[in-house]
Amino acid sequence: MTLTSDTRGDAAGRPRPAATGPRSRPAVDQRPVEFWPTSAIREALETDDLTVWQRIVVAIKRDPYGRTARQVEEVLDNAPPYGVSRALDEVLTRTRAHLEANECAEVGRHISMLLQRSGLGQDEFASRIGIPADQFASYLQGTTSPAASLMIRMRRLSDRFAKMRGHSD
């Protein structure tokens, strides 16, 4: 009688060890999570492997609207709840809120630069772009962000006054 090992090949034809017991874990894809298919994300969420979940969380934090984040959303929306579902949903929500706050702050810094470059006062600048001073203040503080068209209007105003002042940056 000849004994052969029970192995199965992966997609590239490399052998994978067969399951050795009733509770063995499936092989974890060693590529970066961003390259995993949605089925691998689903399988990872069905396991109780904290290190795999952490890899997914790191990928979400790196790119909150990226491929992995979208795949996690899809899996969470279309599958029964897993033990980690609520935690991953919270990671998505908080990471996106943090990103948005950082982006608003960055826009605020840019608007502040445009204001300084123009040489105008805050109220005068707001008036010349056609918005109330308190709304302009919220843009400067980074609590809200203006529409793209308003950003263009601000840049044009800043350019015009910088040029008049002799600061054609």
Asked if residue 47 belongs to a domain, the reply is yes
Which of the four pLDDT bands, split at 50, 70 and 90, describes residue 82?
low
Same domain, 118 and 68: no
Rounded distance, CA 146 to CA 132, Å? 12
- Answer whether residue 148 is part of any domain: yes
Domain that holds residue 153: 101-169
Residue 169 has pLDDT above 70, yes or no: no
Q: What's the pLDDT at 84? A: 83
Q: Quote the pTM value.
A: 0.70
pLDDT at 29: 79
Residue 116 lies in a domain: yes
Q: Quote the pLDDT of residue 83.
A: 72
Domain with residue 139: its CATH number is: 1.10.260
pLDDT tens track for 83-131: 788 899 999 999 999 999 999 999 999 999 999 999 999 999 999 999 9
Q: Clarify whether residues 111 and 163 are in a common domain.
A: yes
State the chain's mean pLDDT as an integer. Answer: 85
Residue 108 falls within a domain, yes or no?
yes
Number of domains in the chain: 2
Q: Tell me: the pLDDT tens digits for 39-65?
A: 999 988 888 888 999 999 999 999 999
Counting residues of the chain whose pLDDT is more than 70, the rounded percentage is 81
